Amino acid sequence: VDHSGVPNVQLVKENSKIAKFYQGRSVAEQNSVDLAWELLLDESFDDLRAAIFATDGEKARFRQLVVNSVMATDIMDPDFKAIRNARWEKAFTECPNLEEDAKQATNRKATIVIEHMIQASDVAHTMQHWHIYRKWNERLFMEMYQAFKSGRAEKSPETFWYKGELGFFDFYIIPLAMKLKDCGVFGVSSDEYLNYATRNRKEWEDRGQEVVREMMEKIGFGSMDSETMK
């Protein structure tokens, strides 16, 4: 909702009103939280709010979960990424702290699992069938091409899309799928997510350059050679 079709870095570069309002940090994500929260507080959702939280304490806790979850989709902010990684290590890798309250430890695990669920939802097409991945990959490509044509991006996506997707799988998607498996919450479904991610990565490696050419042909331009797209 209310997404402008360009990444946060471009909004900051343009010194847009929304970027200034959120001081250049997680611009689209903060805007999404504010819009969603304002909608939730509308009187038409009184019954829904009553079902979600009954006290001010529960309301504050729920809002914090919403903020944490949506902020988790900003994978480009190094500070937020470091915080999430540290929480994951403490929740699932480090030896249990016997002096820590059990409820606190459980809440930390629940929070970090929710954050990773939202991250996975944000890129769910990469962990589904190849045709689903292709559909949403192409829509993002077209969105970024429109940004380039309108002067809101420095490069056409065709120049970096093939190699960029390989890196995205290697450094984000597959590690994320492995975390979903390691946390032990999703059972056999986690194997399915990881298998689809690795298969899509392999198929993209084999067919990705051809796919980029096909997308450019849909736009109406001749294809670039494979060396240009590497």
Q: Say what the pLDDT of residue 169 is.
A: 98
DSSP 160: T
Residue percentage of the chain with pLDDT more than 70: 93
Among 117, 127, 103, residue whose Cα is nearest residue 70: 117
Distance from C-alpha of 80 to C-alpha of 107, rounded to nearest angstrom: 19
* Cβ 138 vs Cβ 165: under 8 Å: no
Pick the residue with more confidence: 55 or 104? 55
Task: For 162-171, write each residue's pLDDT tens digit.
Answer: 999 999 999 9
Q: Say what the pLDDT of residue 226 is.
A: 44
Among 47, 45, 37, residue whose Cα is nearest residue 1: 37
Task: For 71-114, write each residue's pLDDT tens digit.
Answer: 999 998 888 889 888 888 888 876 766 667 788 888 888 889 99
Residue percentage of the chain with pLDDT more than 90: 73
First to last CA, the chain: 33
Q: What is the dihedral of CA 189, 193, 195, 197, to 10 degrees?
A: 180
Mean pLDDT on 32-46: 97
Task: Show me where the domains of the chain are located.
Answer: 123-230
Angle at 197 between CA 117 and CA 74, to 5 degrees: 40
Q: Is residue 228 over pLDDT 50?
A: no
Distance from C-alpha of 74 to C-alpha of 36, rounded to nearest angstrom: 17
* Cβ 134 vs Cβ 211: under 8 Å: yes
Q: What's the pTM value of the predicted model, to 2 decimals?
A: 0.85
